Chains A and B, each alone.
Chain A
Amino acid sequence: MTNSFGEFADAKMFLCIGTNMTEAHPVASTFLKNALRKGAKLIVVDPRKQPLADLADIYCQIKVGSDIAFLNGLMNVIITENLYDKDFVENRCDNFEAFKAKIMEYPAEKAAEISGVDAGKIREVAHLLAAVKPAMLCYTLGITEHTTGKDNVMSTANLQLLLGNMGMPSAGVNPLRGQNNVQGACDMGALPNVFPGYQKVIDPAMTEKFAKAWNVAKLPDKNGIMMPQMMEGLVDKKIRAFYVFGENLANTEPDIRKVEHELSSAEFLVCQDIFPTETTRFAHVVFPAAAWSEDDGTFSSSERRVNRVRKVKTPPGEAKPNWWIFKELAKRMGHEWASNSGREIWDNEISILAPALGGIKYSRIEEDGLQWPCPNTEHPGTAFLHRDGVFTHGKGIFNPVDWKPPAEVPDKEYPFVLSTGRRLFHYHTRTQTGRSGLNFLMSEETADISADDAQRLGIGPDEYVKVRSRRGEVKVRARITPQVPPGMVWMSFHFRDGSANWLTNAVYDPNTLTAEYKACAVTVEKL
């Protein structure tokens, strides 16, 4: 997030696109609701009329995967009606002319045709957005989980640059991150192209810096491969050993049958987890790990805030802290590592090696955490990025992007679009929530469909249906709901039985290799 949750309550305007905030980030949504009570405006753009849409001043029910067409059409109105922030665009941004040329290809009528939101409403959104400044743009996986995910993100940034909604409180581009420490895992360099602190592995100065710090002669200097490539590598044996730490890939990745074929092809699979999962079934060695509350450390939240996590109990049996397991493996491969606790790893290594985290020490985050960038121990942390329109590259860069349809669209044989997401009462594959009593509030998966489709297919409330795609099929109860438009099915992947991932399409954004969980074609049959 460029900005912070603390700015929600004072925001004047929100544009929420592809975010099911009341279910996936409930506490964040309470601050948004507080702002609405004080008169803030809300525009919601989402294929599903989820609870946030009920609170919106304007709700745009776009077709699945039409985000860029909608946003380009919106920006077309903003540019042609001269509603944009000319001062910000001229002085703080680059590449406006090329961007404008692309946007001119998307008049509101064309955007309307692709997105299903009528041109008048697109103009209405443009006028409301231009009338209130600043606006906070929030998105979640509705933007990223597409074959055009990266371009979708670019498009949201283009809009905020055009409106000059950057570099000030209650503004910015704000992806709400789904997991407690997905921000931190990125910050720590658990990515194939960067060391901790986003320092590139292909930069010789960086490999030299880290080789010295880690006391090794050299470090690999070309980018590694990403998760889907790793798993495909298990089949063609390019990858001979695969180490899975705390991920239940057999349930979370698209097209479960494909994933399980890959996992079962592994020559040597190591799993490190707190529970036996569908993934550990394929392991050759399983390491039992300490869970949350069984170790001292830090999480980094969506707003770049490094918060303390504390130990209150010992791990069960022989389970050990994860950092200890990695350290022991390193030792057995000839490397002695000095740090012997979360605090030593953070204070003596991470905060020394990652400049943006340099000022964050355990002693400073006993209570409220600190938000990076926080370069030195006097620095108070950074609530919002790009202050006064100063960007990492100097100026903000417009990236012209084109709309492309999802890889698989409905046809005669598979006439419904399946989109997926998370539900309030569960978290991912329920390894945690399924063992905390939350099944009481939701005990099985459903296929959410419209009343129109239910009536047409003769499906009654809670009756079993078969949902089938080119990859597989599931039997689940139908949940007939006004949230879902005709022609759409919406499901989650919380339950192994009836998981959407038996159906989802393993196709990826070409740059990020994010899978298109949000769009594939299915058929629904009454049972």
Chain B
Amino acid sequence: MNITINGKVCEAVEGQTILDVAKANGFNIPTLCHLAGLTPTGACRICVVEIEGMRNLVASCASPATEGMVVRTDSERVLSARRFIVELLVSCHPLDCMTCEKTGDCTLQNLAYELGVTSSKMEGEKYNYPVDSSNPFIMRDYNKCILCQKCVRVCNEIQGIEAIKTTNRGFDTKVATAYDTTLQDSNCVFCGQCVQVCPVGALTEMKSKGLGRAWETKKVRTTCPYCGVGCQLELHVKGEQIVKIMAVEDASPNKGRLCVKGRFGYDFIYSEERLTTPLIRENGTFREASWDEALDLVAAKFKQIIAESGPDAIAGVSCARSINEDSYQMQKLFRAVIGTNNIDHCART
């Protein structure tokens, strides 16, 4: 079928929403509560568009495209509705963008900027929730929450953990664990998926605090160093410092998901306890040595043992955490240089 968006005839298939078709054709419609792959809620209304012949604006994330539909995503009526929504959101939002961890990567901040919202005409009640920084991973500042409920939906529908839900009603609506405990006292598993989807500064990574702004970091794709699933990570790096880790959206196999170890278990590489120099045992203790000295010692000892007892008197185990290329080199060293097949690793455990 065909629909027309801002005068352009766009191809659409059964089951696509207006938002899907618009995105596929390069039209930018802002969203706050939308989560690809989950049933739309149409809660935030920021994605409203105007449809010819319809009295009200509709939420494009929740409206299926139908044959012949004529859509405007950028009419003054649409923009003014969006401006009104942002003004409502901003009316109770702490406008502390200067010090907020999310600055530069905040959907609300970007929308306010794009729509020219500098303050709200609707002065009203503000939230006064305590900020929860009681665990080393996830900082929760519900004063900044816009109640899009993305965190609730990923926790329940994607990760299947069901640690958080909304409590109370109206202005007092709040995202909380059962009995409103800290995360560590709930059934939260600290996968941090809620942080990954939060469009504002309500949920941020504790470890990232002060390490770098969104525009200062380069994004490097890599593979998680923990279990065998092989999740794809996006490292946000400033200089040589990993500021935070996000899951790569739409990548195989993890499709934008991570667990606690993959998302938060990375800073061991910066530990002060790292081995930084070759060590040689002497009189029962280790002393530092140069690479030349240590390598020469090992090579000489191996050659001596091969000469005296044959190559099968040497054995080695490779590492199931290091890269393929390292294991390849080690087995090549054992087979082609030392001359033994005594090479193994923890393959069967």
Q: Cβ of B110 < 8 Å from any Cβ of A? A: no
Q: In the complex, A382→B295 CA distance in Å? A: 41
**Shortest distance in angstroms between A368's beta carbon and chain B's nearest beta carbon?**
5
Q: Are B225 and A275 in contact (CB under 8 A)?
A: no
A interface residues, tally (CB under 8 Å) = 145
CB proximity to A under 8 Å, residues B261-282: 261-262, 264-269, 271, 273-281
Asked if A122 CB lies within 8 Å of chain B CBs, one says no
Which A308-361 residues have a C-beta within 8 angstroms of B?
308-310, 312-314, 316-323, 325-330, 332-335, 337, 342, 345-346, 349-350
What are the residues of chain B within 8 A of A329 when measuring CB–CB? Answer: 295, 298-299, 302, 333, 337
Contact indicator A326/B330 (Cβ below 8 Å): yes
Does B311 count as interface, using CB distance less than 8 angstroms?
Answer: yes
Nearest Cβ in chain B — how far from A278, in angstroms?
Answer: 13
B317 within 8 A of A: yes
A57 in the interface (beta carbon within 8 A): no
User: Which residue in chain A gives the minimum CB-CB distance to B277?
Assistant: A318
Contact A286 B279 (CB under 8 A): yes
Contact A247 B346 (CB under 8 A): yes
Q: Is there a chain B Cβ closer than 8 Å to A95's Cβ?
A: no
> A176: shortest Cβ distance to chain B, in Å?
6
Interface residue? B128 (CB, 8 A): no
Which residue of the partner chain, among A285, A291, A367, A433, contacts B297 with CB atoms under 8 Å?
A285
- Complex partner residue of B313 from A29, A189, A240, A515, CB under 8 angstroms: A240
Interfacial chain B residues near A98, Cβ < 8 Å: none
User: CB-defined interface of A218-258 with B at 8 Å, one 1/0 digit per residue?
Assistant: 01101111110010010000111111111101001000000
**Segment with Cβ contacts to A, from B27-35, B77-85, B250-258:** B250-258
The reply on B189 being an interface residue by CB < 8 A is yes
Which candidate, B47-55, B97-105, B196-204, B216-224, is the interface stretch facing chain A?
B216-224
User: Is residue A456 within 8 Å, beta carbon to beta carbon, of the partner chain?
Assistant: no
The interface bits of chain B over 218-249 (1 if a CB of A lies within 8 angstroms of the residue's CB, else 0) are: 00111111111111100101001110000000
Per-position binary interface string of chain A over residues 173-184, scored 1 when its CB falls under 8 Å from any chain B CB and 0 otherwise: 000111111111
Q: B10-18, B63-71, B167-175, B320-328: which lies at the A interface?
A: B320-328
Minimum CB–CB distance for B259 against chain A, Å: 4
Asked if residues A318 and B323 are in contact (CB atoms below 8 Å), the reply is no
B157 at the interface (CB under 8 A from A): yes
Complex: chain A residue closest to B157, CB-CB: A37
Tell which of A191, A346, A514 touches B349, judged by Cβ atoms closer than 8 Å. A514
Query: Are the CB atoms of B222 and A180 closer together than 8 Å?
Result: no
| B265 lies within 8 A of A292 (CB) | no
Residue among A188, A244, A318 making CB contact with B324, cutoff 8 Å: A188
CB distance from A298 to the nearest CB of B (A): 5
Count of chain B residues near A, Cβ 8 A? 108
Cα distance A303–B242 in the bound complex, in angstroms:
27
Main secondary structure of the interface of B (DSSP, over half): mixed
A246 touches B348 (CB 8 A): no
Q: Tell whether A18 is near chain B: CB-to-CB under 8 Å.
A: no
Q: Could you tell me if A192 and B344 are in contact, using CB atoms closer than 8 angstroms?
A: yes
Residue among B136, B224, B332, B340 making CB contact with A180, cutoff 8 Å: B224
| B190 at the A interface (CB under 8 A) | yes
Pick the most buried of A180, A185, A225: most chain B CB atoms within 10 A of its CB: A185
Q: Is the CB of A24 within 8 A of B346?
A: no
Interface assignment of A302: CB less than 8 Å from any CB of chain B: yes
Provide the bound-state CA to CA distance between A438 and B136, in Å.
8
Query: How far in angstroms is the closest Cβ of chain A from B261?
Result: 6
Q: Which of B175-198 contact A (CB under 8 A)?
A: 184, 189-191
**Interface bits B301-326 vs A (CB < 8 Å: 1, else 0):** 11101000101111111111111111
CB of A384 closer than 8 Å to a CB of B = no
- Does B228 contact A25, Cβ atoms closer than 8 Å? yes
Which of A233, A241, A275, A306 has the largest count of B CB atoms less than 10 A from its CB?
A241
Beyond A247-B345, A285-B294, A432-B226, 8 extra complex contacts between A and B, CB < 8 Å: A184-B327, A210-B336, A220-B341, A308-B223, A313-B269, A369-B252, A425-B260, A436-B268
Q: Which 6 A-B pairs have the closest CB atoms?
A: A317-B276, A301-B230, A246-B319, A297-B323, A224-B341, A177-B228
Pull 17 A–B residue pairs with CB atoms less than 8 Å apart, ordered by A. A26-B227, A37-B157, A177-B228, A179-B228, A179-B346, A192-B341, A210-B336, A224-B315, A225-B342, A245-B322, A247-B317, A247-B320, A328-B291, A333-B338, A345-B329, A438-B261, A513-B348
Interface residues of A, Cβ cutoff 8 Å to B: 4-6, 24-30, 33-34, 37, 141, 144-145, 149, 176-193, 195-196, 201, 210-211, 214, 216, 219-220, 222-227, 230, 233, 238-247, 249, 252, 268, 270, 273-276, 280, 283-289, 291-295, 297-303, 305-310, 312-314, 316-323, 325-330, 332-335, 337, 342, 345-346, 349-350, 367-369, 424-425, 427, 431-438, 440-441, 509, 512-515, 517
